[in-house]
């Protein structure tokens, strides 16, 4: 297998940010174009495909990007969704921290404008405006626990569904803290950008309800598979059938994602395709004007 070529004998003993390959054996002869990222090193595929490896933002973003394309071009699907990248939650964190700091004079107007661009479909490749879909897949990194969870915003229900692959005492409170940031801030931005028949001025001040989904596959303690569980949950949900399994074979899903992305990128090289042929370029608009009279109350 191409991924095993040049591996160190003790590659499994390496730290997550260390090279697992012999000298210069990890470098790819040609960059692999995965739409939103160019991959030049086999270690990227190694971390995705091998057991007990942490996934980084690029892994999460690439798979969610292709799920977003699946939704965009599958116009006959009754389950309408879009995705955001990992940077979205980081921007929410920045805004939340500023509003939570009493007397802060830090301006986050540009960051808030970025959130509005996400909602209107101006921020990402293959993005879908939120006013045309029902659900938004949001990857959430719980930094204190080095853990990934999937948050799904149901715009119609005004509710966030949380799919967490590891529930335990001493863990759940950290997840709740991160989800609460989304639940408190998103109502204002969604109501500002999406016209509907509800009373938007009231909706801005009402936090979204949160449901922590039960009876879904759980990873073992210390398995480092949370990123694969997040992506697998998102893929299952994209079919509109919920999570149909009680057990998730993380090793199989790793191998599958790694092989599919490699084969897809290799085919693009062979056919001379470029990402611009796959998805429309990002739409740009002038920076949004932020009404300084609008304030967020952090409870």
Query: pLDDT tens digits, residue range 194-250?
Result: 865 455 555 677 899 999 999 999 998 888 999 999 999 999 999 998 998 889 999
Distance in angstroms (rounded) separating the CA atoms of residues 95 and 90: 9
- Range with the poorest average pLDDT among 21-25, 128-132, 243-247, 293-297: 293-297
Residue-range definition of the domain harbouring residue 157: 57-250
197 in any annotated domain: yes
* Mean predicted lDDT score pLDDT of the chain: 88
pLDDT band at 299, cuts 50/70/90? low
Q: Which ranges of the chain would DSSP assign to H, the alpha helix?
A: 42-49, 57-73, 86-100, 109-120, 172-193, 200-203, 226-238, 250-271
| pLDDT score at 280 | 46
Q: Among 201, 144, 148, which residue's Cα sits nearest to residue 173? A: 144
| pLDDT score at 20 | 94
Q: What is the DSSP string of 112-137?
A: HHHHHHHHHT-SSTT---GGG-SEEE
Per-residue pLDDT tens over the stretch 238-249:
999 899 888 999
116 in any annotated domain: yes
| Angle ∠(278,242,139) on CA atoms, nearest 5 | 55
5 in any annotated domain: no
186 in any annotated domain: yes
pLDDT band at 158, cuts 50/70/90? very high
99 in any annotated domain: yes
130 in any annotated domain: yes
| pLDDT score at 100 | 86
215 in any annotated domain: yes
pLDDT, mean of residues 42-60: 95
| pLDDT over threshold 90, residue 186 | yes
CATH number of the domain where residue 222 is located:
3.40.395.10
pLDDT band at 292, cuts 50/70/90? very low
- How many domains does the structure of the chain reveal? 1
36 in any annotated domain: no
| pLDDT over threshold 70, residue 273 | no
Percentage with pLDDT > 90 across the chain: 71
| pLDDT over threshold 90, residue 276 | no
pTM here is 0.89
């Amino acid at each position: 297998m191409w991924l095993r070529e040049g591996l160190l004998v003790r590659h499994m003993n390496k730290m997550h940010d260390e090279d697992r390959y012999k000298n210069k054996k990890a470098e790819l002869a040609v960059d692999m174009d995965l739409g939103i990222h160019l991959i030049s090193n086999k270690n990227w595929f190694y971390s995705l495909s091998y057991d007990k490896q942490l996934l980084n933002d690029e892994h999460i973003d690439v798979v969610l990007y292709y799920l977003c394309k699946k939704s965009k071009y599958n116009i006959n699907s009754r389950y309408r969704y879009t995705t955001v990248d990992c940077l979205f939650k980081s921007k929410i964190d920045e805004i939340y921290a500023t509003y939570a700091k009493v007397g802060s004079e830090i301006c986050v107007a540009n960051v808030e404008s970025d959130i509005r661009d996400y909602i209107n479909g101006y921020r990402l490749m293959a993005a879908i405006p939120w006013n045309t879909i029902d659900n938004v897949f949001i990857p959430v990194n719980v930094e204190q626990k080095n853990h990934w969870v999937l948050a799904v915003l149901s715009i119609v229900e005004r509710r966030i569904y949380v799919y967490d692959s590891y529930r335990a005492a001493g863990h759940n409170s950290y997840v709740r803290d991160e989800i609460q940031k989304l639940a408190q801030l998103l109502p204002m931005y969604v109501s500002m950008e999406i016209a509907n028949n509800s009373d938007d001025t009231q909706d801005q001040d009402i936090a979204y309800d949160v449901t922590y989904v039960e009876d879904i596959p759980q990873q073992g303690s210390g398995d480092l598979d949370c990123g694969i569980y997040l992506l697998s949950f998102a893929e299952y949900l994209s079919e509109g059938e919920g999570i149909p399994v009680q057990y998730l074979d993380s090793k199989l899903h790793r191998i599958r994602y790694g092989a599919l992305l490699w084969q897809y990128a290799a085919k693009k090289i062979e056919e001379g395709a470029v990402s611009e042929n796959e998805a429309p370029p990002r739409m740009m608009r002038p920076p949004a004007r932020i009404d300084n009279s609008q304030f967020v109350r952090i409870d």
